[in-house]
Amino acid sequence: PRGCSVPLGVPQPAEEKAQLLQNSEYQERMVESTFLYLTLDLPTAPLYKDEKEQLIIPQVPLFSILAKFNGSTEKEYKTYKENFLKRFQLTRLPPYLIFCIKRFTKNNFFVEKNPTIVNFPITNVDLREYLSEEVQAAHSHTTYDLIANIVHDGKPSEGSYRIHVLHHGTGKWYELQDLQVTDILPQMITLSEAYIQIWKRREEDETNQQQGA
């Protein structure tokens, strides 16, 4: 991703922000860097209760947390010295993408887990809008399909992991936990607390197969 940072401590009106950007201290900087995976931030949503005092787990669409990479959404970062804003935009789309959904936060005392459910489609996730206009022209294939989904269940310190894997030859999904392997329906995958996902870019022959199905 490509990041632009502006060291602004608090939100500023548009006029004041424009004036600050004239100073060298507040100039935007553009940095291009390679990445192994993309970190997706979950909103800090508390657990709500319904009329029967039962917990309701909040949900968020995948495209809402992908907005971090649209080139215009600003995210604030804080250090012990300064605060600054960053914007991210993808400059290329590799054959495979790894999403890491940031469920865990650590403080000085313990680790907390965000149980928000991410609503995502299994196939046909188009990432074209997260590329700049000049980069879009160089990418004819921008659609991805999910091929693996790692789930974390339970508390941060006592939880367990499950893996959902697509069998490419048959198009069937399987769930793996320890030595157990079972069939799973695709619609059940989207109900899990997804933690790490692997997406495969759809190529020309695969696109034609999808359109002819």
Q: Tell whether the model's pLDDT for residue 171 goes beyond 60.
A: yes
Closest CA to 2 of 102, 115, 86, 104: 86
For the segment(s) 36-68+93-202, the CATH number from 3.30.450.20, 3.90.650.10, 3.90.70.10, 3.40.50.970 is 3.90.70.10
**pLDDT exceeding 70 applies to what percent of the chain?**
77
pLDDT at 213: 43
Are 88 and 39 in contact by the 8 Å Cβ rule? The answer is: no
Q: Tell whether the model's pLDDT for residue 12 goes beyond 70.
A: no
Are 176 and 135 in contact by the 8 Å Cβ rule? The answer is: no
Q: What is the mean pLDDT of the chain?
A: 82
Q: What share of the chain is helix, strand, coil (3-state, %, to 5)?
A: 20, 45, 40
Question: One-letter amino acid identity for 60?
Answer: V
Tokens of 4: 């632009």
Residue range 131-162, pLDDT digits in tens: 888 888 888 899 999 999 999 998 888 889 99
How many degrees, rounded to 5, is the angle at CA 83 between CA 77 and CA 88?
40
| CA–CA gap between residue 164 and residue 147 (Å, rounded) | 8
pLDDT at 175: 96
Q: How many CB atoms lie within 10 A of CB 69?
A: 19
Q: Tell whether the model's pLDDT for residue 1 goes beyond 80.
A: no
Query: Between residues 15 and 72, which one has the greater pLDDT?
Result: 72
Q: Tell whether the model's pLDDT for residue 168 goes beyond 70.
A: yes
Residue range 178-207: mean pLDDT, rounded: 89
pLDDT at 13: 66
- Lowest mean per-residue pLDDT among 36-50, 85-99, 119-133: 36-50
pLDDT at 73: 86
Tokens of 193: 């607390």
Q: Give CA 63 to chain center in angstroms.
A: 8
Residue range 178-192, pLDDT digits in tens: 899 999 999 999 998
Going from N- to C-terminal start, the domains of the chain cover 36-68+93-202
- Is the pTM above the cut of 0.75? yes
